Structure 1
Amino acid sequence: MITTYGVGSLIAVENESFIVAGTDSWNISDASVIREDRLARLLGVRHFLLPPASSDTSRDGVHVRRFPLWHSCPNCNTLQHVRDFNSPPGRNECGDCQEDLVPSRFVMACAQGHIDDFPYWKWAHRDNRTEDASGHCKGEMRMRTSGRTASLRSVLISCTCGIPEVSMEGAFRRSALVNLKVRCEGKRPWLKLASPEFCSEPPRTLQRGSSAAWHPIIRSALSIPPEENDLADRLAPHWADLRSLDRSEIPIFLKVLTMRGGGEFSTEGVLALLDADQSESPGQKAEVGGGAYLALRKQEYAHLRNGTVERDGGRDQEFVCEPSTTDSTRLTRIGLARPMLVRRLREVRALKAFSRVEAPDVNTEVHEAGLSLADLDWLPAMEVEGEGVFLRLDEERIDSWSRSVAVSARVERMRTHHRRQLRERASDARNAPDSPATPRMVLLHTLAHVLINEWSLDGGYPAAALRERLYSDDTMAGVLIYTATSDSAGSLGGVVAQGEPERLALTLRSALDRAQWCSADPLCIESEASGAGSVNLAACHSCVLLPETSCEHNNGLLDRALLVGTPEDPSTGFFRGTPDR
């Protein structure tokens, strides 16, 4: 409901297809509240809710609506709107053949998030449009498959009006629907009572089950002090009132809470929580790379760097981060600070919106389709409890290395390609966001990828069960690698064990040795551009790419040459020439 089948996504259930309805139509009376005040303020809501589950016989929980509405009969090949099949009540079958109907394989969508049925009539009649006063030929559409090939050429559309049979070949071309003079009608079938809105975006043909039909826009945050302490838990229902009060009125308000049976409250502790609340720059744009989101990352970075020890009886403590007690000299020599072992963490991931056709990327402007017609004070979210290892690089050494002409040239090439991609996807190229690509950022990102790949081989974790969280700007140079699943894999202790200095040094050496050679070399290491939008250099599926769920940047802005150098210039690599290399 957050990452795969959220609001606006298409879901297949047996022989039927549905679209998940907006959050304003959900029955949330029994939904569990998920608290993460820092992320809630960032996204402008009061709290988060776990998507409600329901039994097979109940009528509450998350609702869906039938979509697409055009179906075909596998027996008589009739292709028409589902309401015209005269199906028996409660059944989705052809009234004449008693065969289960097949939902349309094809839909059309636009980058604004709108989605509609594929215009079969216009496609079939595009070269022979004999229209009467109503604009249609009054014939009946048919769809069949010749079975000669597995391509769209074998999917044939015809009409009883006598036009020649045509195939679906070419329907997925970018200009296919534009050439038919088909425009987006601004339909939002996932929202109840939503009227069509004006849209100037050209529609595109998509497969109903295509990943391009729904891309979630997810924002996340770690629960860090003081968010995770008991005082914040008890004050959670009263935060809105506390924020609106003058500081001199807070002691009186707390005294009233105590008289009502809410327990004792420390005025100093409450004021400290409010100070932390105000330091998070509320009201700034809640985007990755935006001021508010960067402030949230800086708070996390400070707590990861300084650590938080486990309290006595702190079984419910949601953030425990301690430095390793063993000798870390080997890591220090190669530019890593003493690793921090995050023995316990909690991450909240909230579904903010979604997009279609264009995948949301770091700093890329995409249209965010809303989850509801009316503004609500909550968003659907999930929480992940796990563990991880926080690594920090020597900033002075990074600055010295990044001044290399060869390093700057490689990163600038990636940055130029990424800037071009951002301008192409922005509604106004003059206001396109800047690329985050810097030597520091690309180095941290690629290091995280090679370590996740190595831990998936050495530690027993699948790569999809691990996730990166980058902290990179002029004042930060760290990466958190942690368990990203909500099952028992997040509490086995295996990731923390990988962070012990002696073991980490061996793992890092093995990962760098593996990065020296890719099975796609020399093409990979000599690549001038790779990846979507040419935003990578020496990076491919045989060396550093990860499952999409593990990467914050959609497998972009990667270059293993910044780790180990190139055959022509080994000094390009940050870890070249170190004692362990």
Structure 2
Amino acid sequence: MTPPKNRRIRRSGARSAPSAKRVGGVRQSQVVTTYGVGSMVAVESESFIVGGIDTWDDTGSADEVYEQRLARILGVRGFRLPPAPDPERGRGGVTVFRFPEFYSCPECFALQRHREFNPPPGKSVCSECNEDLIPSRFVLACENGHIEDFPYWKWVHRGVERESGFCKGELRLRTAGASASLRSVIVECSCGVPPVSMEGAFRTGSLRDLGIRCEGRRPWLERAQPELCDKQPRTMQRGSSSAWHPVIHTALSIPPWGEGVYALVERCKLVGKSEEYIRTYLEDRPALLSQVDTTVQGVIDVARAFDDEEGPAGADAVPTGPRSRLREDEYVALVRGRSESRIAEWQPFVCEPPAGDPSAIEALGLVDTMLVKRLREVRVMASFTRGQPPEEGEEELRHAQLSLRDDIDWLPAMEVIGEGVFLRLDERRLTAWESEPSVVRRAEHVRTEHERVLRERAKPVKGRKATRPAESHVTARLLLLHTLAHAVINEWSLDAGYPASALRERIYSGPDMAGILIYTATSDSAGSLGGIIAHGEPENLSRTLRSALARAQWCSNDPLCMESQASGSDSLNKAACHACVLLPETSCESLNSFLDRAMIVGDHAGDVRGYFSL
């Protein structure tokens, strides 16, 4: 990570030399999922915010990530890996800016902007005490992604009629030490106003009463002007997980896109090129045609298909609708399967039926299973929010910019190579089960809570009109599939040698879909070593399912867990807790929401029959 050039003028009047030193490092994949644009990252005793993609260095040389289906939906021309730094030059990589600006000294308790401490170049110390400075623990943020320093001056001068910043006093921040509560964090000003603790700073009403509104600041965008914002900001801890939620879009590479001649057209950037250019290009590289087993005319035809908004006709058409269309196409590809015919470079998707007898799993309510021996997933960071994570369908209502430039037509992305197992439930048995009144009523409880949450987020506030709430997608089918995926991942984490955090779920729930894909989630080839595939054989899978269902019958927190009317974040779960089916957040695509053990094994009272207890 690289900070921008230092344009600060020191108090002595001498202009400091431009600086673009490397301040720290994270993995490329983390720049998409953990430390993406707008997030805060701690480096030793300092804190920085990751800059917009228009400030990243050497992006022109960054590796491209290809996924035409997802690029069409997100409205960009392509994706790129975050740039890697150049160790020899000590430059390159992702740009960061100092944030928050306010720091405090643990010795003299001074609380002011970092530059006002006048630290020596390259250091973050108090020039008076020579002690390492401590970045502010508190920031203000709103759901539109804006973030700024906590207004300490306004907080300590509340009720005092003075113009902001004109008391000529100096702020101090000290800790009373009596406890770890906010009451022990004291803010003082040398102008003589009474000291004030930070107690109550996290109450939105307290900020509103002081007239503190969102200033629309975007410190991750270089030279960005404040923009109008009607959201009420809230106080957050600098390291809080609520301070940054990436909006991640994912897609599996399924045929024909990303395979064979389609992959050749993408990687060689032949989209939009003339026939003459393509012919000349391929004549100079005859090996390319033999590798993908095609002709020059075949390449020209595919290049035209890329330009066509409708894409190729038939089941392989490019999806142009909402994100759900991606899942529908993936579901069809997983059910249909794809035998291996090329090397991994030209065929990222291999999906074949197991060799064993499927009757072992059919008795449990599964219609079939597919072994995804080769899988490629592209994860794209399209935006981010702060506060509450966005629900599916409302991402565009509140999202933050990744760049100020209009000419940037790419988004940061990463690709995951791995393997997985696809399970599909018996549609007839599932339809009969989800029509039972007791199942419908239990699922309706979760759906009602979800609708309440969506209405709360769409509610009007002072200065802002109400927005139309997103529609809840919760059904009994979704609760069943999601809980089953968690139960199987927990079981495989004990048997397959992978920790639960290394496995991911992909839920296919809809009127014509009833399947789950469980796959490895690593950004290198270590995710395709065969450990999951072996457990997808019907005999092994049958043992896994029976063991998982036996564990789901009883939780160490029962009967409280099973009899719970609502649990989890925003009360979006029923019988689910950390002792039974919850997973690491990296494994779940719904933040551990929409789970209920009763959907798979039934409740203890016998009022609700689980799908697998039929």
Do both proteins adopt the same fold according to a TM-score greater than 0.5, normalized to the shorter chain? yes
1:218-254 Cα deviation digits (max 9, x unpaired): 1111111112323123211445416xxxxxxx86675
Partners of 2:327 and 2:162 lie apart in 1 by 60
**Residue number among 284, 306, 329 corresponding to 2:336 in the alignment:** 306
Question: Is 1:34 the equivalent of 2:68?
Answer: no
> Aligned residue for 2:458?
426
Contact kept? 2:250, 2:380, Cα under 8 Å: yes
Q: Using the TM superposition, give the Cα deviation of residue 352 of structure 1 relative to its aligned residue in structure 2, in angstroms.
A: 0.6
Question: Which residue identity does 1:408 align to in structure 2?
Answer: V
Q: Name the SS for the 2:389 alignment partner.
A: coil
Residues 193 and 551 (structure 1), Cα distance of their counterparts in 2 relative to 1, 3 Å cut: same
Contact kept? 1:130, 1:137, Cα under 8 Å: no
> Aligned residue for 1:542?
579
In the TM superposition, structure 1's runs of 4+ consecutive aligned residues that sit over 6 Å from their partners are 250-253, 279-283
Residues 332 and 124 (structure 1), Cα distance of their counterparts in 2 relative to 1, 3 Å cut: same
Partners of 2:206 and 2:296 lie apart in 1 by 66
Question: Which residue identity does 1:538 align to in structure 2?
Answer: A
Partners of 2:362 and 2:476 lie apart in 1 by 20
> Aligned residue for 2:111?
79
Residues 171 and 311 (structure 1), Cα distance of their counterparts in 2 relative to 1, 3 Å cut: same
Question: Is 1:277 the equivalent of 2:329?
Answer: no
Alignment of 1:284-295 (within 5 A): 291-295=321-325
1:342-380 Cα deviation digits (max 9, x unpaired): 111011101111111111233445511111112311111
Q: Using the TM superposition, give the Cα deviation of residue 255 of structure 1 relative to its aligned residue in structure 2, in angstroms.
A: 4.1
Contact kept? 2:141, 2:234, Cα under 8 Å: yes
Residues 368 and 512 (structure 1), Cα distance of their counterparts in 2 relative to 1, 3 Å cut: same
1:150-196 Cα deviation digits (max 9, x unpaired): 11111111111112221111111132211211111100010012100
Q: Using the TM superposition, give the Cα deviation of residue 426 of structure 1 relative to its aligned residue in structure 2, in angstroms.
A: 2.6
> Aligned residue for 2:224?
194
Contact kept? 1:364, 1:426, Cα under 8 Å: no
Partners of 2:130 and 2:410 lie apart in 1 by 44
> Aligned residue for 1:45?
76
**Residue number among 112, 122, 126 corresponding to 1:94 in the alignment:** 126
> Aligned residue for 1:155?
185
Q: Using the TM superposition, give the Cα deviation of residue 101 of structure 1 relative to its aligned residue in structure 2, in angstroms.
A: 1.5
Q: Name the SS for the 1:548 alignment partner.
A: coil
RMSD across aligned positions (CA): 2.2
**Residue number among 196, 220, 224 corresponding to 2:250 in the alignment:** 220
> Aligned residue for 1:17?
47
Q: Name the SS for the 1:296 alignment partner.
A: helix
> Aligned residue for 1:530?
567
Alignment of 1:370-389 (within 5 A): 370-375=401-406, 376-389=408-421
Moved more, 28-37 or 111-120: 28-37
Q: Using the TM superposition, give the Cα deviation of residue 571 of structure 1 relative to its aligned residue in structure 2, in angstroms.
A: 5.3
Residues 283 and 84 (structure 1), Cα distance of their counterparts in 2 relative to 1, 3 Å cut: farther
Partners of 1:278 and 1:424 lie apart in 2 by 42
Q: Name the SS for the 1:407 alignment partner.
A: helix
Q: Using the TM superposition, give the Cα deviation of residue 489 of structure 1 relative to its aligned residue in structure 2, in angstroms.
A: 4.3
Q: Using the TM superposition, give the Cα deviation of residue 269 of structure 1 relative to its aligned residue in structure 2, in angstroms.
A: 6.6
Contact kept? 2:282, 2:296, Cα under 8 Å: no
Partners of 2:601 and 2:594 lie apart in 1 by 16
Question: Is 1:391 the equivalent of 2:428?
Answer: no
Partners of 1:268 and 1:239 lie apart in 2 by 12
1:470-523 Cα deviation digits (max 9, x unpaired): 111111111100001224541221111111111110110111111111111111
Question: Is 1:7 the equivalent of 2:37?
Answer: yes
Question: Which residue identity does 1:432 align to in structure 2?
Answer: P
**Residue number among 390, 407, 423 corresponding to 2:439 in the alignment:** 407
Q: Name the SS for the 2:223 alignment partner.
A: coil
Partners of 2:467 and 2:189 lie apart in 1 by 48
Unaligned residue ranges in structure 2 (runs of 5+)? 1-30, 290-294, 460-464
Question: Which residue identity does 2:332 align to in structure 1?
Answer: A
Question: Which residue identity does 1:169 align to in structure 2?
Answer: E
> Aligned residue for 2:153?
121
Q: Using the TM superposition, give the Cα deviation of residue 213 of structure 1 relative to its aligned residue in structure 2, in angstroms.
A: 0.9
**Residue number among 527, 549, 568 corresponding to 1:512 in the alignment:** 549
Q: Using the TM superposition, give the Cα deviation of residue 536 of structure 1 relative to its aligned residue in structure 2, in angstroms.
A: 1.3
What is the TM-score when the length of structure 2 is the normalising length? 0.87
> Aligned residue for 2:140?
108
Question: Which residue identity does 2:376 align to in structure 1?
Answer: R
1:433-476 Cα deviation digits (max 9, x unpaired): 21111121211111101101111122221111000011111111
Q: Using the TM superposition, give the Cα deviation of residue 528 of structure 1 relative to its aligned residue in structure 2, in angstroms.
A: 1.3
Q: Name the SS for the 2:254 alignment partner.
A: coil
Residues 235 and 313 (structure 1), Cα distance of their counterparts in 2 relative to 1, 3 Å cut: closer
Question: Which residue identity does 1:139 align to in structure 2?
Answer: G
> Aligned residue for 2:380?
350
Partners of 1:509 and 1:2 lie apart in 2 by 37
Contact kept? 2:438, 2:607, Cα under 8 Å: no
Question: Which residue identity does 1:452 align to in structure 2?
Answer: I
**Residue number among 501, 505, 527 corresponding to 1:468 in the alignment:** 505
Partners of 1:212 and 1:314 lie apart in 2 by 39
1:90-116 Cα deviation digits (max 9, x unpaired): 332222222222111111111111000
Partners of 1:450 and 1:363 lie apart in 2 by 27
Count of residues paired in the alignment: 562
Q: Name the SS for the 1:448 alignment partner.
A: helix
> Aligned residue for 1:287?
none
Partners of 1:364 and 1:352 lie apart in 2 by 13
Q: Using the TM superposition, give the Cα deviation of residue 59 of structure 1 relative to its aligned residue in structure 2, in angstroms.
A: 2.7
Partners of 2:317 and 2:203 lie apart in 1 by 45
> Aligned residue for 1:145?
175
Q: Name the SS for the 2:484 alignment partner.
A: helix
Q: Name the SS for the 2:505 alignment partner.
A: strand
Alignment of 1:537-576 (within 5 A): 537-569=574-606, 572-576=609-613
Q: Using the TM superposition, give the Cα deviation of residue 277 of structure 1 relative to its aligned residue in structure 2, in angstroms.
A: 2.9
Contact kept? 1:364, 1:422, Cα under 8 Å: no
Contact kept? 2:501, 2:586, Cα under 8 Å: yes
